[in-house]
Structure 1
């Protein structure tokens, strides 16, 4: 089934300079790498331009897909094609050479991806080494793990010296209640001036499902109320690994952000424009 790109516009009118802080490109000619999942259907700059127009997105953060592991060549190509509207999040290993880091930085990369789930390029066990390489460049880390295990990871996360983003609303693979110890610890992390949270991928973990994703939505609403200045939003396009019957409607994914924020214009501007600009140097 071809991936749907267009459709009805969202009810939420995105403010000018809205930033999608999490999406992926897959282009012909770039091979998947050992250790990663299989390459999915291609997802091009032209495809994503349709989604951008539909949602009113003007700026984009392209995140290195797991399928490419630490081969960032496709990401670099896309950043150079997109120019000033784009920044990137790469996979960096402790062995990444300084000249490669500088090339990534010059192309617009401003973050390094840590993925502590199957198929991820670099896990939490090597996170501190990666941070020591990228922090002098002003980059931050984007960290994804099963939020139910956050208590095991707290020493590592609290030991980070620079800014980091907890990915995918904490990625609780089974949504937890808002008084769960793991969720309360996530909120405590957000009390640090170094920790941010990405409102993305709600459909991946929700058991309630579309259109409202109420179980994950409860967590998102609580987190937004707790630390509104530390929230960013991402589409997670092209929604890799989702079956056709569960493929999310991109307009709905923007509209649920409106639900979670009470459609407060100032709060939406903070999440969609101001905080991404601060983190990514727009």
Structure 2
């Protein structure tokens, strides 16, 4: 089984070229040299025509490297940038016109327990929600399932589309019946929220079988609110996964061709306006 024509990897990153786009914040990981040309080669090998770039933490709130890639992509890429409260609406509008469809907000912590340098959080999201709504953009949130459950009432009040990174960062070992994961499923079922099926950050501390059960629960709940991503080029991983193996995993776990097309083609086309 292969990815259908028009498939999209909805979560990856570009870094560099560093002579033109050096990092803007201290990095907690070694920076890969993966500019647009390498991204295009990787997508060709994977068999996907479209991609969504997520601005990585070392670029803080400067999306120059990503914007350059978007402008040179011929319409095959969209972007998720980073911005804090107070950014000029005209700047966000210019980013949107360049292909940015969302802003990313982070509540996960670094290995040392601190915030990622240059990141924006839920406070920034709440402040920027009105302008994002006006511009037709959405919010992407990297947050643990535990914190999703703890902040569910606040998240329910957000009235723009909200995309949870990395499957909502659940504790896969706790199983799909755990209250935190059930809260995430409820939010997804209620509408207005999406989940990225990117497993490589979830399988690091759990078996594939455990993560497979969560994958199935998402598909049973809202297959029309799911997109898939690799997280290429796999920073902060001692043993990076093979992107082709991640695609095979998704195809094998999902199995149904209509569901595969919905998640790889139709849903990202809707969410990211390809």
Please, what TM-score do these two structures have when normalized by structure 1?
Answer: 0.89
2:51 aligned with 1:54: no
| Separation in structure 2 between the aligned mates of residue 251 and residue 260 of structure 1, nearest angstrom | 14
**Aligned residue pairs: how many?**
264
2:204 aligned with 1:215: no
- Structure-1 residue corresponding to 2:130: 132
> How far apart are residue 46 of structure 1 and its match?
1.7
CA contact (8 A) 1:32 1:39 kept: no
> Matches of residues 1-282 of structure 1 in structure 2 within 5 Å?
12-27=1-16, 28-29=18-19, 30-34=21-25, 37-38=28-29, 40-118=31-109, 119=116, 121-172=119-170, 175-200=173-198, 202-206=199-203, 207-208=205-206, 213-243=208-238, 246-261=239-254, 263-282=255-274
CA contact (8 A) 1:94 1:133 kept: no
| Separation in structure 2 between the aligned mates of residue 85 and residue 107 of structure 1, nearest angstrom | 12
Task: Give a deviation string over 1:123-150, Cα, whole Å, max 9, x none.
Answer: 1232211222211110011111111222
> How far apart are residue 32 of structure 1 and its match?
2.0
| Separation in structure 1 between the aligned mates of residue 90 and residue 27 of structure 2, nearest angstrom | 25
Structure 1 alignment gaps of length 5 or more = 1-11
> How far apart are residue 203 of structure 1 and its match?
2.3
Task: Give a deviation string over 1:148-197, Cα, whole Å, max 9, x none.
Answer: 22221112210101111111111125642111000100110011220111
Compared with structure 1, are the counterparts of its residues 267 and 157 closer, same or farther at alpha carbon in structure 2 (3 Å cutoff)? same
| Separation in structure 1 between the aligned mates of residue 107 and residue 90 of structure 2, nearest angstrom | 26
Cα RMSD after superposing both structures: 1.6
SS in structure 1 at match of 2:72: helix
> How far apart are residue 83 of structure 1 and its match?
2.5
SS in structure 1 at match of 2:194: strand
Please, what TM-score do these two structures have when normalized by structure 2?
Answer: 0.91
Compared with structure 1, are the counterparts of its residues 193 and 208 closer, same or farther at alpha carbon in structure 2 (3 Å cutoff)? closer
CA contact (8 A) 1:32 1:38 kept: no
| Separation in structure 2 between the aligned mates of residue 176 and residue 135 of structure 1, nearest angstrom | 35
Q: Which moved more, 1:103-112 or 1:40-49?
A: 40-49
CA contact (8 A) 1:36 1:69 kept: no
Structure 2 alignment gaps of length 5 or more = 110-115
SS in structure 1 at match of 2:220: helix
Q: Which moved more, 1:270-279 or 1:120-129?
A: 120-129
Task: Give a deviation string over 1:242-268, Cα, whole Å, max 9, x none.
Answer: 11xx2101111011111321x111000
